[in-house]
Chain A
Amino acid sequence: DTEVTQTPKHLVMGMTNKKSLKCEQHMGHRAMYWYKQKAKKPPELMFVYSYEKLSINESVPSRFSPECPNSSLLNLHLHALQPEDSALYLCASSPRVLRKAFNEQFFGPGTRLTVL
């Protein structure tokens, strides 16, 4: 199984809602990533997990809360989001963190989030 899956595909939420995005991979990868992509812009890194520990937080607002409960699963908990947080949220994984090896990243198809 060489796939990264993300659920849901689409999510519409109000600014007072709490929701979660889910990402899963069964390739035995030990590095997982969240990216945010706005229209016509490149993907921007939000978080990196290495061996289930948070390794990088790119100064992301606390209304985004990542969680890595096990080596196959990565969640992004959302609370009190703003309309400008509407974007495509991509999850990715790689065998190890990028600085340790010349790994490619495997991406999921993304969750399209709309905040009303």
Chain B
Amino acid sequence: ILNVEQSPQSLHVQEGDSTNFTCSFPSSNFYALHWYRWETAKSPEALFVMTLNGDEKKKGRISATLNTKEGYSYLYIKGSQPEDSATYLCASLIQGAQKLVFGQGTRLTINP
């Protein structure tokens, strides 16, 4: 069974502060890790697809790192804004599989 764990489950951050959260996944047979942002009443939106150990990707104020040997990824948000409030999902894909296995998500709330 492939377990993808995210922590914390929820997070409240003051506007302007930076924050980060974690996704843990089994490192064996790793193929790719996906990050999605899911705002309430909208579609989940892809942020990053990461594949190589040591990968760092950036999109505006959001960045992510990947450690495939130890099985974790961090998502960082710099200078949080109210529009960053969303649930952030990570999902792991193992080699040969067509199936993404999602974590439960980190629900981020930015307080103005």
A97 at the interface (CB under 8 A from B): yes
Interface string of A6-41 (1 = CB under 8 A from B): 000000000000000000000000010000000011
Q: Which residues of A contact B46 (CB under 8 A)?
A: 104-106
Q: In the assembled complex, which residues on chain A have CB atoms less than 8 Å from the CB atom of B7?
A: none
Q: How many residues of A contact B (CB 8 A)?
A: 26
Bound Cα distance A44, B41 (Å): 18
The chain A residue with its CB closest to the CB of B6 is A42
Chain A residues near B96 (CB, 8 Å)? 99
Question: A43 near B43 (CB under 8 angstroms)?
Answer: no
> Cβ of A116 < 8 Å from any Cβ of B?
no
* CA A72 to CA B77, docked complex, whole Å: 35
Docked pose: A97 CA to B99 CA in angstroms? 9
In the assembled complex, A89 has its CB within 8 A of some CB on chain B: no
Q: Which of B43, B45, B89, B98 contacts A42 (CB 8 A)?
A: B89
Whose C-beta in chain B lies nearest to the C-beta of A90?
A: B44
Interface centre among A4, A56, A107 (most CB of B within 10 A): A107
Interface positions, chain A 100-116, Cβ under 8 Å from B, are: 102-110
Question: Are B32 and A102 neighbours in the complex by a CB distance under 8 Å?
Answer: yes
Kindly state whether residue B97 has any CB partner on chain A within 8 Å. yes
Q: Are A97 and B34 in contact (CB under 8 A)?
A: no
Q: Which residue of B lies closest to A5 (CB)?
A: B43
Q: How far apart sit A50 and B98, CA to CA, in the bound complex (Å)?
A: 10
Contact residues of B with A, CB < 8 Å? 4, 31-32, 34, 36, 41-46, 49, 51, 89, 91, 93, 95-105
18 A–B contacts from the bound complex (CB under 8 Å):
A40-B104, A42-B4, A42-B89, A42-B101, A42-B103, A43-B44, A48-B99, A56-B98, A98-B98, A99-B93, A99-B98, A104-B46, A106-B46, A107-B44, A107-B45, A108-B43, A109-B42, A109-B43
Given contacts A31-B98, A98-B97, A105-B100, 12 further A-B pairs with CB under 8 A are A4-B43, A41-B104, A42-B102, A43-B44, A56-B99, A90-B44, A98-B93, A104-B46, A105-B34, A106-B46, A107-B43, A109-B42
